[in-house]
Chains A and B, each alone.
Chain A
């Protein structure tokens, strides 16, 4: 089986400082991967590089996504090809309603796939259905995107957009940060509901607690720009108990 995503020897830097120092990762359809690691290990950088943020320069390596070199595509093309990033800090866009924003995004993706734009009634029905997944009140549709939303509401809105865009690969960048336990449960159940055998998810997180709700098939520990350890979900539990220091030492010895 061809992997959905194949990251090989990925190096990336910002302002001449190397952050990613040779990432290798294979993600197959149907899988959930968790990427953990202490602050500054490069987790969010990896998410940004996958999504194509300009601030980062890829200096080596390749990322093959569904048979295409992802790094050759501009960010909007990556999105239209089915890559979704749930932002750690979603932006606010004053005056642009959530409905209008999502409609614009969905229609761009549909256009890319050679589909007609959805008619307004069908679209509204779909939005209401998908909002229910994350227990968002439909009144949010008329509000400016993320403006005045609480932290939890913003994250739910990210998962709602994910549900609308129906991506092949979703990268959740610290989606659990700033969430109370109820919001965490809601967001996680939304992500789980979207899980299928033909899509995949990469969950970036600091904490084991999100992984109680979104159960990963694989856990990877990122440290100093490299994946230093991979395992199943028991690795997350071990990290919870022992912290990261033992891994840092192991990694230091190997290097």
Chain B
């Protein structure tokens, strides 16, 4: 591959997704019908069964209703007013960082993102990204040696159709919910990961992904399978501010952990939250679920949610295998007019299954932040244990924090604990910091990071540092 090809692939441009140059003209009119789905499937050279699967999902979606139970408020989405197929337009490339919005640059600076990466993220023409190239090359060689598959899901459909067919929809069925059904019908692309038996993925699957984060689609589909005794840590998202012309995002993520396998899935989400009045922000309606299919398996979700106008997301774990473990660590920040309704579901089926929920909500401005969680213990789940900790931190007087914990326990041997606290960054705390020479902005950052520490500690090291800075940036100007 020549330099440009490698580059294109790394920055996630057209090449990676298998488009050809004439695709630029292929922009379907707004609206959704069977033909649109056939078109998408055809464009992607999908096998017949995939098309059938999409069409089935579409049928189901048509009879479903948009969920109204979340504690969020937004004007109804017109699903016929969305373009479901558009070749990712090449963003107009800028010639240098000087042409980038200074506000974005300032944020990059605060986050400590390396200069070369800043260019990629901001869409500046990069003439040389040696670091990224070498990272990617070593990385792919290493993974291939171990038999690990890590590629766009469209590529997996071509090269490993049997794996995709076996697992897609096995955790989040097409008719699971309104947005999952929509995603199943029209998903554009996403990532596919397969870790073979006994293999421990030696790298956080993160560096690569971050470079590619720029072109994540509107309807993304991710499928991660960890075979017996394997381990993988996967990082999704980006601390850099993400703007997108698509307002609605409805992703689906499915995780499958077989016997003794472990999947650690970390998300840092910083989609455009809208302006101070909440205009233009992303609606993020995501379905994320993992199944601990095998004995002694473990799935751990960690999320730092700071962006989006509306977040609707409940990364969950189905604990099917005996002795399996599910974890959910979350920091959700809302500021200005943001709304978040997020939490988890832990479904205990196997014997001696354990789950742990640590949720830290932070609300500022006039935002609304809800935790919604279900702990369900089935009659067969002998000896199940759950611990939930749901904390809310309020900054100012105009925001709201809400907690909706649901418990459904059908086995008497289960132990379920729930703790909840609500606290406020009070004048006393800020004054104390001020008196020690720490100004209010820095004090808020310090206090918030302390509050979220238990969750941040779960993130891979380099990302934890960025996430800390991100929390501080998200709350700038929220006090005083």
Q: Measuring CB to CB, which residues of chain A are less than 8 angstroms from any residue of chain B?
A: 51-55, 74-76, 78-80, 84-85, 87, 90-91, 93-96, 100-101, 104-105, 108-109, 112, 144, 161, 165
Q: Is B435 an interface residue (CB 8 A)?
A: yes
Interchain CB contact under 8 A, B446 and A96 = yes
Chain B residues with CB below 8 A from A112, complex form: 437
Those 10 A-B pairs whose CB atoms lie nearest each other, nearest first = A95-B450, A96-B450, A75-B434, A105-B436, A108-B437, A79-B437, A95-B453, A91-B432, A76-B434, A109-B437
Interchain CB contact under 8 A, A90 and B432 = yes
Q: Is B449 an interface residue (CB 8 A)?
A: yes
Interchain CB contact under 8 A, B446 and A94 = no
Interface-located stretch among B257-265, B290-298, B423-431: B423-431
- The residue in chain A whose Cβ has the minimal distance to the Cβ of B421 is A94
- The residue in chain B whose Cβ has the minimal distance to the Cβ of A82 is B437
Chain B residues with CB below 8 A from A91, complex form: 428-429, 432
> What are 5 of the A-B contact pairs (CB < 8 Å)?
A79-B434, A85-B435, A91-B429, A95-B450, A95-B452
Interchain CB contact under 8 A, B438 and A96 = no
Of B434, B438, B440, B451, the residue contacting A104 (CB under 8 A) is B438
Q: What's the minimum C-beta distance from A100 to chain B, rounded to whole angstroms? A: 8
Binding site secondary structure of chain B: helix
Knowing A93-B450, A95-B453 are in contact, say whether A108-B435 is a contact too (CB < 8 A).
no
Q: How far apart sit A189 and B213, CA to CA, in the bound complex (Å)?
A: 58
Q: Is B129 an interface residue (CB 8 A)?
A: no
Interface centre among B432, B437, B450 (most CB of A within 10 A): B437
Interchain CB contact under 8 A, A74 and B437 = no
Q: What's the minimum C-beta distance from A2 to chain B, rounded to whole angstroms? A: 24
Of A52, A53, A94, A105, the residue contacting B437 (CB under 8 A) is A105
Chain A residues with CB below 8 A from B442, complex form: 104, 108
Interchain CB contact under 8 A, A101 and B439 = no
Q: What's the minimum C-beta distance from B178 to chain A, rounded to whole angstroms? A: 37
Chain A residues with CB below 8 A from B429, complex form: 91, 93
Q: How far apart sit A51 and B427, CA to CA, in the bound complex (Å)?
A: 14
Interchain CB contact under 8 A, B451 and A94 = yes
Q: Is B476 an interface residue (CB 8 A)?
A: no
Interchain CB contact under 8 A, B452 and A76 = no
Q: How far apart sit A95 and B437, CA to CA, in the bound complex (Å)?
A: 20
Chain B residues with CB below 8 A from A100, complex form: 446, 450
Q: Is B454 an interface residue (CB 8 A)?
A: yes
Q: How far apart sit A96 and B443, CA to CA, in the bound complex (Å)?
A: 11
Interchain CB contact under 8 A, A101 and B437 = no
Interchain CB contact under 8 A, A94 and B450 = yes
Q: What's the minimum C-beta distance from B404 to chain A, rounded to whole angstroms? A: 24
Chain A residues with CB below 8 A from B199, complex form: none
Number of interface residues of B (CB under 8 A): 23
Q: Is B447 an interface residue (CB 8 A)?
A: yes
Q: How far apart sit A29 and B301, CA to CA, in the bound complex (Å)?
A: 58
Interchain CB contact under 8 A, A161 and B436 = yes
Q: How far apart sit A53 and B426, CA to CA, in the bound complex (Å)?
A: 13
- The residue in chain A whose Cβ has the minimal distance to the Cβ of B456 is A95
Q: How far apart sit A101 and B423, CA to CA, in the bound complex (Å)?
A: 19
Interchain CB contact under 8 A, A75 and B446 = no
Q: What's the minimum C-beta distance from A138 to chain B, rounded to whole angstroms? A: 20
Chain A residues with CB below 8 A from B423, complex form: 94
Interchain CB contact under 8 A, A76 and B450 = no
Q: What's the minimum C-beta distance from B59 to chain A, rounded to whole angstroms? A: 49
Interface centre among B432, B435, B450, B454 (most CB of A within 10 A): B435
Interchain CB contact under 8 A, B450 and A108 = no
Add 11 more A-B contacts to A53-B431, A80-B437, A108-B436 (CB < 8 A): A74-B434, A74-B439, A75-B431, A79-B437, A90-B432, A93-B432, A100-B446, A105-B433, A105-B437, A108-B438, A109-B437
- The residue in chain A whose Cβ has the minimal distance to the Cβ of B445 is A104
Interface centre among B427, B428, B429, B431 (most CB of A within 10 A): B431
Q: How far apart sit A79 and B20, CA to CA, in the bound complex (Å)?
A: 63
Q: How far apart sit A101 and B447, CA to CA, in the bound complex (Å)?
A: 10
Chain B residues with CB below 8 A from A53, complex form: 431
Of A51, A76, A95, the residue contacting B438 (CB under 8 A) is A76
Chain B residues with CB below 8 A from A79, complex form: 434-437
Q: How far apart sit A84 and B203, CA to CA, in the bound complex (Å)?
A: 48
- The residue in chain A whose Cβ has the minimal distance to the Cβ of B440 is A76
Knowing A76-B437, A108-B438 are in contact, say whether A87-B432 is a contact too (CB < 8 A).
yes
Of A87, A144, A161, the residue contacting B450 (CB under 8 A) is A144
Q: How far apart sit A184 and B34, CA to CA, in the bound complex (Å)?
A: 80
Q: What's the minimum C-beta distance from B367 to chain A, rounded to whole angstroms? A: 21
- The residue in chain B whose Cβ has the minimal distance to the Cβ of A145 is B450
Interchain CB contact under 8 A, B431 and A95 = no
Interchain CB contact under 8 A, A96 and B434 = no
Chain B residues with CB below 8 A from A95, complex form: 449-454
Interchain CB contact under 8 A, B427 and A93 = no
